[in-house]
Amino acid sequence: MEPVFQIALPILKRLKQEGFQAFFVGGSVRDHLLKRQIGDIDIATSAKPGEVQRLFPKTVDVGSAHGTVIVLFNGVPYEVTTFRSEQGYKDFRRPETVTFIESISEDLKRRDFTINAMAMEEDGRIIDYFNSRKDLNDRIIRTVGRPEERFSEDALRMMRACRFVSQLGFTLSEDTKKGVMKKRQLLQNISVERKLNEFDKLLAGEDRDKAFSLLLETGMEEFLPSLHGKREALKKFTIQDKHLLTSSDEIWTLLLYFLSPENESEFLRNWKMPVKRIKHLLHTFSVLKLRRKLRIWTNSLLYHAGLESAKTAEKVNQVINGKAGTVPLSDLEKQYADLAIHNREELAITGHDLIEWSQKKPGKWMSEILMSAEEKVLEQEISNTKIELKEWFLTCINPKLD
């Protein structure tokens, strides 16, 4: 048993000492069997939320009405959830009624996919009621029970299925795929924020193209923000070799290129992205467009892009172009390091200098002068020294201020 389970084992033992059942459940058990890196450790127990809170000194109530309490043990948070059954899903997400039960088998029945519906005893023994290990070995994603019922309970499970295809490289079972095609319209009832979270995870997976093909095959893209009617552009995006791209923001930049929305800002806002992320993506995409238009990295473009956005733009450009007309990232890094300045703070003159030298009142003209000075220094027409910049200012610029 991996150390992450060993560290959490005292929680299971404490619950069992008090006469309750307790098991490791969910993705950690799946990843243990797949020998993948294990993330969060979740625990299922017959103990009620109040009893869990009584047994452990440090807890956080994150949803006791639905059976979930966070137990803080040695500084690590563990989600401990009471065995439960669920009924009624009018919003296609949350159950109307939650009933606490005593059976781990009944609790596992409410899980989404068989590969996530296993439990593990404290001695490492696996409890498997749904042939989950066979599906793991066969690399199949299959719902627990009828797909239509699972997707009606929480429509986001359809996107989760695609996300697991991306992360694990598995294949959707035929009955599960048919269930998605029957229930895909239910995605319109899911909040955009939840869709974005799953979409980002899908884009970050190594088998993202396989997952994206599944999105298109099942027609789910029609119910995702701003993707309606974009099937042909999405097909072109899907077939690109993206092995160079390592982050979801790099993939989003490539996606923007192939979708070419009339209003990039509106497209990203429709996904309910944070404002800071939208600004970053818009900046990087504008850098990509300029890079492709100029066909070279000028010092000015690299300066205004910033190294990280420039590297993203170049990687995306390489995906689009192949090796033709591209620049090795090491060369780009060297060119950036060799820039005379990397931000305005490094410029040898300031707005105060301009006021002193010109005896003019502050105004928009100062920003224009400083921008011109930046360009002159970047293109090595002037050295970045106060003496040379003052001479340039007095002889070439200052007379125009009169």
SS3 assignment, position 97: strand
Q: SS3 for 126?
A: strand
Please report the sign of the dihedral spanned by the C-alpha atoms of residue 317, residue 319, residue 320, residue 324.
positive
- What counts of helices (H) and strands (E) characterise the chain? 20, 11
Mean pLDDT on 72-95:
82
- Say how many CA atoms lie within 13 Å of 267 toward its Cβ: 19
Task: For 185-229, write each residue's pLDDT tens digit.
Answer: 999 999 999 999 999 999 999 999 999 999 999 999 999 999 999
Structure tokens at 67: 């059976």
Sorted by sequence, the CB contacts under 8 Å of residue 56 that are 6+ apart come out as 11, 14, 71, 72, 73
pLDDT reported for residue 92 = 61
Question: What is the residue-averaged pLDDT of the chain?
Answer: 93
Alpha-carbon span 402 to 360, nearest angstrom = 9
Whether the per-residue pLDDT at 311 is higher than 70: the answer is: yes
pLDDT tens for 251-283 read 999 999 999 999 999 999 999 999 999 999 999
Q: Encode pLDDT of 95-105 as tens digits.
A: 667 899 999 99
Looking at residue 264, its pLDDT comes to 97
Q: Which amino acid is at 37?
A: Q
- CA 302, CA 378: separation in Å to the nearest integer? 10
**Which whole-number Å values give the CA distances from 170 to 147, 180, 316, 341, in the listed order?**
17, 16, 27, 49
0.85 exceeded by pTM: yes
Distances (CA, A) of 38 to 15, 78, 114, 130, 264: 23, 13, 18, 22, 37
Q: Hey, what domains does the chain have and what are their CATH numbers?
A: 1-137 (3.30.460.10), 344-401 (1.10.246.80)
Name the amino acid, one letter, at 194.
R
Nearest to 86 by CA among 105, 68, 100: 100
- What is the distance between the terminal CA atoms of the chain, rounded to a whole angstrom? 79
Which residues, other chains included, contact 229 with Cβ-Cβ below 8 Å and sequence gap of 6+? none
CB-based contacts of 238: which residues, under 8 Å, 6+ apart?
A: 209, 212, 213, 216
